[in-house]
Amino acid sequence: MLKEIVNNNGISKLFTKFMFIKFIAILFTILFSLSSVHSKEEISVKLEKVIDGDTVYLLDNNKKKYKVRLHAIDTPEKGQIYFLRAKEALFKLISNKSLTLEKINYDKYGRVVGIIYADNENVNYQMIQHGHAWCYRKYNRNPKFIEAEENAKSKKIGLWSLKEKNVAPWEWRKKSAK
């Protein structure tokens, strides 16, 4: 049986094929990883208007307008408690600052889903950290966002300081749609 596996050079044909396939798989993994890293698009932008606590209009240097939904966060909807405070908090974090938009993808409404950096600080994270937003776990892949939300809750800051029961925006939208 050993003779069937080993060729004349003492190297298994099966082993050689296996190594070739493994090499190709590793090569594709590396190429895919590199393309993902370079596919991130970051652009310098200016604030045009804050719509709510997680949606803004931004302008690039060519005056192209972007409607942006902040990635991995969710803030109270119009009609919910804390709506205006979340909107004002976002305005304070990004007005009169050097802004960068990291485009992640587009949502079903055609908005850019992204991360906004104000003076190199992650605004999405800051909104959660200061208790102005929920970590939107459905889309979040960053454990620091969850940790920031837990810290804000435990310190009872921002929307977590309210005596009224907080209803997560995604739950509120479901109830409002009925």
Catalytic residue list: 69, 77, 111
Taking Cα atoms as reference points, which of 80, 82, 108 lies closest to residue 175? 80
CA dihedral for 91, 93, 99, 101, sign (positive or negative): negative
Rounded to whole angstroms, the maximal C-alpha distance in the chain is: 80
Residues near 16 by Cβ (< 8 Å), separated by ≥ 6?
Answer: none
Distance linking the first and last C-alpha atoms of the chain: 70
Residue given tokens 């739950």 in the structure block: 171
Taking Cα atoms as reference points, which of 68, 24, 29 lies closest to residue 45? 68
